[in-house]
Amino acid sequence: MKFRKGFTLIELLVVISIIALLVSILMPALSKARETARMTVCASNQRQLLLGVTEYSADNDGKFPRHVAHRADGSFSWPSYLNYYVDDTSRHGNLSTPRGSMFNAMGKYIEDVGVFLCPLGPPTNTNFEKIYKDPEPNDHTNASYNSWWGGFPMTMADGRKFIGPTSDTNKKGQAKLLISDMLSFWPGSGNLQWWISHRSKSATKQEVDPVFGNNTSMFWVETNAISANDPPDIKINAGFVDCHVSRYGKDEIIAGNGGFYIPQEWK
């Protein structure tokens, strides 16, 4: 009796074609699942930040931390700073805390700097652990998320006045929003850009802001921006004073006068 050994060339080609077809079908699904998992980790990061701010308020008579980028003259810089010109008294005056350092305010409650960095952000070799816990004087490095506590103010596109919460008592007129993914229109770089925590289809890396020299390695940058009224079609996470985190699409967000997009339901 004769036994057939192995496959013919045609049979091998058929098997390879079937495998290739299955891979082409499964890869988008796997990529989508991976992105969904990272979106969940992003929400978990924000929830940990919310809990940290809540613990801070419990130790400080219900007050939230002073904003890192709150200047001595009462104005604010960008809400995403992890450090804002650390120990620069020309910006921070004689304030003892946070002196431009997130760790000074939150290090007791948030030890891991990774909580400030979105897993959907670009890969980077920046030593954020060192920057967070032992920053150089005048360091001005961003986090992936915008922090809104400490009375951060904006005028929204619909005319409403946004004031970030200063305490857990939800004072009249103050927002309930505490944290959100970066989604900002930035015209100051010479060419119109979107700075985003979650990657859009045409976004790329940009290690340093070409205007101010800020470390922006934690953001994706979309350089083909046309208008501040047409943000990238991505979803963002945002967290509130009651420690819940929700997800929002392009039609559920609104811009403030600094080009920062937040949920329409920030109130």
Helices (H) and strands (E) in the chain, counts: 4, 12
Query: Which of 41-45, 59-63, 212-216, 247-251 bottoms out in mean pLDDT, i.e. has the lowest?
Result: 212-216
Burial class of residue 40 in the structure, from the number of CB atoms within 10 Å of its CB (0-12 exposed, 13-18 middle, 19+ buried): middle
Report the pLDDT value the prediction gives residue 168, as an integer from 0 to 100: 83
Higher per-residue pLDDT: 24 or 235 = 235
Q: Which of 57, 88, 53, 47 is nearest to 71 (CA)?
A: 88
> What pLDDT digit, counting tens, does each position of 207-259 carry?
888 788 888 899 999 887 777 888 999 999 999 999 999 999 999 999 998 89
CA–CA dist 260, 55 (Å, integer)? 27
Report the pLDDT value the prediction gives residue 15, as an integer from 0 to 100: 81
> What pLDDT digit, counting tens, does each position of 162-193 carry?
999 999 886 777 899 999 999 999 876 566 78
CA angle 80, 102, 184 (to 5 degrees): 0
Q: Which two tokens stand for residue 236?
A: 């963002």
Confidence class for position 31, pLDDT limits 50, 70, 90: low
Report the pLDDT value the prediction gives residue 176, as an integer from 0 to 100: 94
ω into 122 cis (within 30 of 0): no
Confidence class for position 29, pLDDT limits 50, 70, 90: low
Report the pLDDT value the prediction gives residue 223, as an integer from 0 to 100: 82
Interval 119-142 mean pLDDT: 94
- The structure's pTM equals 0.86
Residues paired with residue 247 on neighbouring β-strands, in sequence order: 237
Interval 25-49 mean pLDDT: 83
Task: Specify whether the CB–CB gap between 253 and 263 falls below 8 A.
Answer: yes
Interval 79-107 mean pLDDT: 92
Report how far Cα 214 is from the mean position of its chain's Cα atoms.
15
Q: Is the pLDDT of residue 4 over 60?
A: no
Report the pLDDT value the prediction gives residue 189, as an integer from 0 to 100: 57
CA–CA dist 267, 220 (Å, integer)? 28
Report helix, strand or coil for 43: helix
Phi first, then psi: give them for residue 237, nearest 5 degrees: -100, 150
Which residues have CB under 8 Å from 90's CB, separation 6+? 72
Q: What is the CA radius of gyration of the chain?
A: 22
Which residues have CB under 8 Å from 252's CB, separation 6+? 263, 264, 265
Higher per-residue pLDDT: 220 or 28 = 220
